[in-house]
A and B are shown apart, each in its own frame.
Chain A
Amino acid sequence: KAGVTQTPRYLIKTRGQQVTLSCSPISGHRSVSWYQQTPGQGLQFLFEYFSETQRNKGNFPGRFSGRQFSNSRSEMNVSTLELGDSALYLCASSLIASNTEAFFGQGTRLTVV
């Protein structure tokens, strides 16, 4: 079956703009988590959604937001982009919220110029 799909794969934005990234989980998976990966900070948890509700949130400013739709697809939005937001954004899905295996997508590479 299809894996976790993230779109777009690559994105270039200008400082001050906003961006929306999309994640389609594996069919039947209802939990979606987002991570930011940078050379300096490594992999950091952004937030998790389950059944359209945010269950957990990492330590990121309010410019980072997300949502989940009834079909479990998720989007994350970053407003007022800063150079430091340049990163690989990874999405992971799990079958249910209590599952101990997360499947990751290939990520969206965001470059802010």
Chain B
Amino acid sequence: GNSVTQMEGPVTLSEEAFLTINCTYTATGYPSLFWYVQYPGEGLQLLLKATKADDKGSNKGFEATYRKETTSFHLEKGSVQVSDSAVYFCALSDTGTASKLTFGTGTRLQVTL
């Protein structure tokens, strides 16, 4: 079956530090890949997505590249802000839609001044 593995958290960074959250996946075929963010007390918000190999998703300074050869979709940001503190989820869909997602366990990011 499908699965998503994320690096364990929490990740604690100082403001303006570089962020990488690792994500690898197992799936048949060519899944679509997503990063979602969850702020305290909120639902999930789509951060970025990539639907085919070598696609780069980007939004709000975050980027992730769909690497089929390494089955990875690592999230990066060059300079984090305190407001980026949240839980980040990597997810995949093998149906070509966002309606049946397999999520990773989530990585909590804490950014301090």
28 A-B pairs with CB atoms under 8 Å apart are: A4-B43, A33-B99, A33-B100, A33-B101, A35-B103, A42-B103, A43-B89, A43-B91, A43-B103, A43-B106, A48-B100, A56-B95, A56-B100, A58-B100, A92-B99, A94-B97, A94-B98, A94-B99, A97-B97, A99-B97, A99-B98, A101-B46, A101-B49, A102-B98, A102-B99, A102-B101, A105-B43, A106-B43
Q: Which residues of B contact A58 (CB under 8 A)?
A: 100
Summarize A's interface: helix, strand, loop or mixed: strand
Q: Which residues of B contact A100 (CB under 8 A)?
A: 32, 49, 51, 93, 96-98
Interface, chain B (partner A; CB < 8 A): 32, 36, 41-46, 49, 51, 89, 91, 93, 95-106
Interface size for A (C-beta < 8 A) is 27
Q: A-B pairs with the 6 shortest C-beta distances?
A: A104-B43, A102-B98, A43-B103, A104-B44, A56-B100, A106-B43
